[in-house]
Structure 1
Amino acid sequence: MMKKEARSSFWPDVQPELLGLVLLRLPSLADRVRLRAVCRPWRSNARLQPLPSPLPWLTLLNGTFLSIPDGKIIRMPAPDDAFCFGSIDSWLFFVHSDGGCSLVNPFSKATLDLPKLSIKWFEAIPRFGSLLQKMVVPLPLESSPGSLVAALILENGGTICMYRPPMATYLPTRRNQRSFDYVSDITFFKGKFYGLGIHDVLMTFELNFGADSKPRISCVKCITKYPTVSVILPKPLYSTYMTKKYLVECCGSLLMVKRHIEFTDTTCEHPLDCDRTAAFEVFEADLSTKPGQWRCLTTLGGQVLFVGKHHSKSFPAGESTGFQEDCIYFMCDYRNDAVDPLHDSGVYNMRTGIITPLLLETAAVPKHHGGQWRPTWLFPADAM
């Protein structure tokens, strides 16, 4: 009897230090949850362990989530009659069929309601789905939800919607100067609102609030020159190159990531099957001079980047995260029609220029069933 009791009490008595070593080797949120569910002592001791953020997920078009790089499919409840069109770290941006918008944290179940999108573009889901491009906020949502100011850029690159509940303001960004004709990406960086214009010009948008408390863009300034091209791509025989651009904050710096995609329109029987990402360029904004300069980078300083039209983020690399340094993770985000986000996806190594598959070789590639959601990166909160 005493031997049986000793054997049954061994696992709960595992020292917290050993439990911490195990947790550090479990970058998947699902695996961490399973470990904590073993017994109460493990759950309480696990709370004492400082851990890096768990592996990110990729939202699939049918409303499920794909864990990277193990390929596990996760299903979580989502608002009824709503579709995901972007994310902000561990929050999902939902648009409802009546034009209402909300930010939902699927882990804490917290919800922030946003004003309805009242312009006619948003009257029907099939029509406006392809127009919504990116939602950004200046601060973590958990820190000051009452003073939320969010920006939503539309696919046409000429309109930005500013939110400050219970109000929304639609702001055309076009000006007389050519640089303002199109905004390909936006972000908040160190409390300021930035946009990327044509010819890779970085712009700042100065915000103020009128007597009606509506957020407004009062001034737009170009603050960088054109960057120097660092990658020379071979000229394809039957196709051309399309370039996607992303703004990403990384270790206190603002980066521009240029993704070069070999793009085939008519020469292939199935054009979509012929598209492929060929290379990346990464530039850092040096704002210490006037005008600022784009400086070409060959390393990410121990970080990895996850880039996408609807959300981009830097992430620390290392053994505890399961990611290699100086790599860029990407998915297929450049088609307005519903496509498989894993079609043109992968991991680009900045040191070698080699692209490897996004999922592990042992992971089962999920079948593509289509849907209304848009592919975006979701970074799970490591809830205890």
Structure 2
Amino acid sequence: MSTNTASPLPPLEPPAPRGTNRGTTGPSPRPGIAMLPGYSRSAGKASVRWIASSNELPVPPSRAVQDAVAAAAADANRYPSLAGDNLVAAVAGRLGLEPGQVVAGAGSLALLQLLLTTYTGSGDEVIYAWRSYEAYPILVGVTGAAAVEVPLTSATRHDLNSMAAAITTATRAVIVCSPNNPTGTTIDHEELMDFLNRVPAQVLVILDEAYREFSLTEHDSTHLLKKYANLAVLRTFSKAYGLAGLRAGYLAASQDIAANLRRAAPPFPLSRVAEAAAIAAWNEPDATAQTISRIVDERRYLSAQLRSRGIEVPESGGNFVWIPAGDRALELEAACLAQSVSVRAFDREGVRITLGEHGATTAVLAAVDSMGAAVHTTSGTLCTLT
């Protein structure tokens, strides 16, 4: 006769009174989530005259875009299109793509997250340049994949040779940011093609072109989709189209990649308002070109003024200029705030200045002149600010 020696089950706890918490801790996130870096905030943005810290346009949307927003908002009781269908059709038509190659989303950042969560996960590696867009390590970390950061060259450009050499059997994706945020440096068409030829076909190449319009390039990288089935191109309406507050963007890729993303994506990626605004802005290429020209002129002016002071700023293809201030980045940020302009400082690296109002540019130059000290140049030497 056997004897059961197992301990009896503990008695059930009585239900907790309403409004009380049974324990002191709640659910825990997946391993690694708590260690993710936070997205930085620019100092003093709410108390300055000029905002040069967020890569926004300094002007509101056109009257046509505002009218489209108002009309869409009047029907806010109705769901938007299932997949941003009208915007997809408009984008595909102009770019000469099939609608099945275009995916719409709430900005290129949301589409990047969709790409990474669809194609990468635990045990995989994702390669990107560093310093680059600060959301990359956050989004890669969320997927559970391992980030492989390849340092920029001394000229703050992508080191594509080293990035290609870093690819292993565990690599599932490579992110290329051109123009690079925050340094503004670009990758030319021949460099990109050479890199794509070196990446294995099973590795996804994500080309982040959030600032493409400001680079004034003659080549449209979406034409490469015919040759490279592992390429996905990200673009946004937040920058050149001035819709940062509405969150709209698109992705162009092979039909297979796009179909997989649509399977993984929740429905209704764009609000009615965001889709209507994006279509209206898309249909104003002349107005967009005029805005871009104004920003590029301001970029040339600020870059020339900084160089005349002995500061070697890299050639920028974005709506911003990078000052390689090194250990004095936070000091330069504080000097700018004292001139009532917010900028984005990256501690011990540099300061990114968004182009827009000429008054902001003048304020930044006054801040630079007020320091009377030295900053790091792209060659790694030192130069005086005054």
The TM-score, its normalising length taken from structure 2, stands at 0.24
Which one has a bigger Cα radius of gyration? 2
Q: TM-score, normalised by structure 1?
A: 0.25
Q: Give the structure, 1 or 2, with the largest relative contact order (CA under 8 Å, sep 6 or more).
A: 2
Q: Which has the higher strand share?
A: 1
